[in-house]
Amino acid sequence: MSLRDRFFSPSDVVADLQWVQKNLLDPAAPDDIRSFGRVTSGDLLRRWSNSRRRPVRDGIFCQCIFGPVSLFRCACGALSGEEHARETCERCGVLCSTPALRERRYGHVQVVGVLHPALAPLVADVLRLSADQVRAIARCEAWLDGDTVRPADEMDTHENHGATGLSALSAALVRAGADPALVAVLITRAVPLPPPGQRPFYADLGPAMVDPWIGPLNEAWLAFVLAAQSQLHLVELAPPPVILMSRQRVVQDLFETVVHATVSPPAAIRPWPEPKPISSPVRLVGMPGRLPEDVGTDVRGLFFVDDVRLFVQRPHGSWLVTTGGDVLAHVPTCGRLATSVHGARLRMAAWMRDAWDWFDKDEYWDAVSGRASVAVLDLDTNAYLDTYPADMPLRLLEHDQPEDLVVGSIAGDASNGSDDGASPATRARPAPLRWGGDRPAVLASTRDGRFAWVGEQESTAVLDLDTGIPQLDPVMPSEISAEDPAVCISSEAPFDEAYAGEMATAMGLTPQNRFRILHGTGVVSDGEKLLFRIDARILAAAFSPAADRIAIATDEEIVLISVSDAPAVLGRFAAPDAQPPSLA
């Protein structure tokens, strides 16, 4: 039997786990039954010197651990060619060999301690408990009071924390006179990580895809590695028992997930369901009755309606203008920013400030009851619609809690008459995103709303909201320097690092399905390499339909810049009407 079979689907559970325990960390064991290194990093793939993606060291695809991705070439290229076969590079630590190694070499993940799910029935038989009770104790969701299992909410964590978790199960087995071999394998502290060849990528799943998707199995392993590393660091800090118990619950759950997923790899399915068709009209929140205090008058939004028209938004109103600066129409404010265009209609799903800033609170909660908190502008009539068009995309991104960016449906349960103060998408049990750090946000989206750039700081990705598959993960960092190629908007506004991270972001998609991204530092990139930077303080920005131009709003000016090998200012005009009218 292979290492994979003995650990993830053991037939003689105790004997097989003993065998794995004995061989996994033994350097003298045969190559296909031992670990070649500990996986500690949550990083996956990184592009070096504009080459294709290469696995990050100590990650779940690491070349040092699992073997090289290129034939007879180490990671850094210092060893290249068959004459260096079986040599290990002193610089990068990668063995110069064939990629076939990645079909059989294992790594391992160090953990504080987890219970193998196949052991739960054996432990239950010895302790005369149910397998579910054993699993609950292993997760610190229950505790042993003598021979009685009690729920965790009845436990004094300061006095009884030793009666839960794996240590409690181990002590109970010893007291019950269990087989010492069972006690010895009860706590798993090194989990074998199968070779990358047994965890293949899902490649070329989208027309705009830049990176192959690692797939649900690798995502499960990545989550487990990150949680295990976090738990190890947490133990070193000696926090209160309740925190350790909470972390143990997470790690145990993720471990059981990777065991089951490795035995039966999950199919590539959408991480969120298809939005339901609108069965009855979904009402939209109306226009606000007042301007929030200190809302300002700066341009807050720009949007290319088509090749020759721009939508310019200030808190107190919006203007449809030509790319030459001629005003075509003025539209009252709705408090939200244009996020996508669908024919002759603009969808506005992002508030300029917190939604309730625009209403009295009682008025706001009454307004959103049973309504979708978006606005739709008909560009033919320059009027806001009262109900959401049934033929427009239904999916949206919003914050369910400050920490969770979620995908929901604009239709949700709008017709159910609920008056709970929640938006329809929230009531529809939206799916949290798995990307973007602690408090992810929507940084930008393409004009059709299909692709969204999400995350925080340097932990960002571009997602296809129709399939849930990342198209670019991660997006390149956006550090700036005075030596970068630059488009200078004004000689009076030289390069200033103080602007970094404080400016608008934007995203476009070329006809060749390549992304164009404006970072908050003023850098314009394709998500993988820097194209140029814009020397100005950018209040709002938008890419043209072909992403060959970008419009930016500075203090009181709209500037159009070509996005090309030789970027240049194409035109500029004064932003319309800086004076706020009364909303009364």
Q: What is the pLDDT of residue 421?
A: 40
Closest by CA to 68, choosing from 109, 47, 91, 99, is 99
Q: Which two tokens stand for residue 331?
A: 């539209």
Beta bridge partner(s), residue 369:
none
* Residue 442 CB-density burial (10 A; 0-12 exposed, 13-18 middle, 19+ buried): buried
Q: What is the pLDDT of residue 48?
A: 54
- Give the pLDDT confidence of 494-535 residue by residue, as tens digits: 545 555 557 899 999 999 999 999 999 899 999 888 999 998
Cα 125 from chain centroid?
A: 42
Q: In whole angstroms, what is the distance from residue 225 CA to residue 372 CA?
A: 39
H or E stretch including 342?
strand 336-342
Q: Which residues contact 325 (CB under 8 A, 6 or more apart)?
A: 558, 573, 574
Task: Determine the Cα–Cα distance for residues 576 and 217; give it in Å rounded to an integer.
Answer: 52
pLDDT in tens, 323-350: 999 999 999 999 999 999 999 999 998 8
Tens of pLDDT, residues 351-376 = 898 888 888 777 777 777 667 788 99
On the question of pLDDT at 25 being above 90, the answer is yes
Is pLDDT of 460 > 50? yes
Residue that is written with structure tokens 């030459």 in the block: 324
Sheet strands (E) in 24-141: 35-38, 45-47, 53-55, 106-114
DSSP, collapsed to helix, strand or coil, labels residue 371 as strand
- Which range (36-45, 156-165, 349-358, 458-467) has the least confidence? 156-165
pLDDT number for residue 427: 43
Of 497, 423, 507, whose CA–CA distance to 461 is shortest?
507
- 102, 151 Cβ separation under 8 angstroms: no
Residue 3 banded pLDDT, cuts 50, 70, 90: very high
- Please state the rounded mean pLDDT for residues 1-27: 95
